[in-house]
Amino acid sequence: MSFTSLPLTEINHKLPARNIIESQWITLQLTLFAQEQQAKSVSHAIVSSAYRKAEKIIRDAYRYQREQKVEQQQELACLRKNTLEKMEVEWLEQHVKHLQDDENQFRSLVDHAAHHIKNSIEQVLLAWFDQQSVDSVMCHRLARQATA
């Protein structure tokens, strides 16, 4: 057996104070070393597993965050659309009401002006008839009736 193929194990404990190292002590140290290596391997596996789980949790959180962001953007777009539609309807209703009010005011002004013009014509005609002789007015009426 060559010395190059022998495994070399470093023992991290103080050697016994005696000049001769007993095989039991070396066996115990090798057993402790093997247990320590196994514990390191197990702890490494646990840490690796925890790290993978943490990475999965983070990926899931990012995915959930993206999904929530998309949902919020869709909800915001829907709210904007509904708000704009509602505001447009309200604006149109208000605009139509103003147009109706303006039309009613215009009709009222026209009716008032027509009434005022009618009264003015009536006053002018009454004043003119008062200035005419009764015979002349009657002759004109009879002439109109005769030609009609």
What are the pLDDT digits (tens) for 109-144? 999 999 999 999 888 888 877 787 777 777 777 778
Cα dist from 98 to 2, 14, 102, whole Å: 109, 102, 6
Among left, alpha and beta (phi > 0; psi -120 to 50; other), residue 138 is alpha
Q: Is the pTM of this model over 0.85?
A: no
Residues 105 and 111: their CA atoms lie apart, in Å, by: 10
From first to last of its 148 residues, the chain has per-residue pLDDT tens of 566 677 777 777 777 777 787 888 888 888 988 999 999 999 999 999 999 999 999 999 999 999 999 999 999 999 999 999 999 999 999 999 999 999 999 999 999 999 999 999 888 888 877 787 777 777 777 778 877 6
Nearest Cα residue to 25 out of 38, 11, 35, 36:
11
Domain chopping of the chain, boundaries: 3-117
